[in-house]
């Protein structure tokens, strides 16, 4: 167990990190991610509030559809990444990072007060639910045994409220942080242990901790806030331009738009790229060099890939070195890695 953002979280359970990682890729694993901040944005001006803070097109979301979006500041930097779902119950369901809990909550609460002072109809409620992520190719099959809804009708980034293994009032969202099929289940606290126990009765399911979660998301090229993206990274630099809604780009009405939108058409100084190498693993903060040995960037996340049997990483390099297939060097304590 390790301390993280005021929580005590599991790095791994009985199985080794590698076994747990591969089990997720081949079967499915259960992650307790209840440390994430879950909020409801209420009122008829809820979309106006959210669009004043994020880069995405929230107004275009269909009922129970969600999207990954980004809180940005006026300098174009990323304050956090989050998932926003427009529920059929008339509120926005928002999940953001525990490491940014206080910052995100203050950002949203301040905007709620600002809009309320203008006479707008908007409110915010922090959800005290647990959050369980069931991830892997057999996740839907495992979950189907405990729900009446047909999960084939729950495509990626959509959600529905349903009873799950006898626990009512669960919000099941088809998403995750592993690169696999799976769901995240927002479950009332009183039913969380019962639900986890029911899922773990299936031999397909094993508990997995932070170590496997990190290597799984890194293999899938998914960012970890604070490592791969932060307040000094723009969405374009972070290779996250796809999160910028088309209507929002044209209107330039999100925080930092004056910095971010020109970057879409012009040239940015650096970009986030994926790296692979043989030999010793690349780690965060390792210098990235060009083939002449000049430092050009830095690794932001790195680890051995249990699935690929190679070392994977991501980091930032100048645009001219960002083309796939470009050969670079990474400086390690044991010597350079190609």
3-state secondary structure of 7: strand
User: Which residue has 């953002």 as its token pair?
Assistant: 5
Is 184 annotated in a binding site? The answer is yes
Tell me the H-state helices in 176-298: 189-200, 210-219, 246-251, 257-265
- Going through the chain in order, the beta strands assigned E by DSSP cover 2-4, 7-9, 28-32, 37-42, 65-72, 78-86, 92-96, 123-126, 130-135, 159-164, 167-173, 182-187, 205-207, 270-277, 287-289, 295-305, 310-318, 329-332, 335-337
User: Which residue has 């915010």 as its token pair?
Assistant: 124
User: Taking Cα atoms as reference points, which of 75, 72, 76, 95 lies closest to residue 85?
Assistant: 95
User: Taking Cα atoms as reference points, which of 268, 294, 284 lies closest to residue 218?
Assistant: 284
Distance of alpha carbon 54 from alpha carbon 43, whole angstroms:
18
User: Taking Cα atoms as reference points, which of 222, 236, 224, 223 lies closest to residue 76?
Assistant: 236
Binding site per annotation, positions for substrate: 184
* Binding site listing: 184
């Amino acid at each position: 167990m390790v301390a993280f953002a005021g929580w005590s979280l599991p790095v791994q359970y009985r199985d080794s990190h590698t076994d747990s990682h591969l089990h997720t890729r081949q079967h499915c694993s259960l992650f307790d991610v209840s440390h994430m901040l879950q909020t409801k944005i209420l009122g008829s001006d809820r979309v106006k509030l959210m669009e004043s803070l994020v880069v995405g097109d929230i107004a275009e979301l269909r009922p129970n559809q969600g999207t990954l979006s980004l809180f940005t500041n006026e300098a174009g930097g990323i304050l956090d990444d989050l998932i926003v779902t427009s529920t059929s119950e008339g509120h926005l369901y928002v999940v953001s990072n525990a490491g940014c809990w206080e910052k995100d909550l203050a950002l949203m609460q301040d905007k709620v007060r600002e809009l309320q002072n203008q006479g707008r109809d908007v409110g915010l409620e922090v959800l005290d639910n647990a959050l369980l992520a069931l991830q892997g190719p057999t996740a839907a099959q495992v979950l189907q045994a405990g729900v009446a809804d047909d999960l084939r009708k729950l495509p990626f980034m959509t959600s529905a409220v349903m009873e799950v293994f006898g626990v009512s009032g669960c919000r099941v969202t088809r998403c995750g942080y592993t690169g696999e099929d799976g769901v995240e289940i927002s479950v009332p606290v009183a039913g969380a242990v019962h639900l986890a126990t029911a899922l773990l009765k299936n031999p397909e399911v094993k508990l997995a901790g932070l170590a496997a979660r990190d290597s799984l998301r890194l293999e899938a090229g998914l960012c970890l806030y604070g490592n791969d993206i932060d307040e000094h990274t723009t969405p374009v630099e972070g290779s996250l331009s796809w999160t910028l809604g088309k209507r929002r780009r044209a209107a330039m009405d999100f925080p930092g738009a004056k910095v971010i939108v020109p970057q879409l058409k012009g040239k940015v100084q650096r970009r986030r790229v994926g790296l692979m190498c043989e030999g010793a693993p690349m780690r965060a903060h390792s210098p990235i060099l060009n083939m002449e040995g000049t430092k050009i960037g830095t690794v932001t996340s790195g680890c051995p890939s249990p699935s690929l049997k190679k070392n994977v990483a991501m980091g930032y390099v100048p645009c001219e070195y960002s083309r796939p297939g470009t050969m670079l060097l990474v400086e390690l304590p044991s010597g350079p890695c190609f």
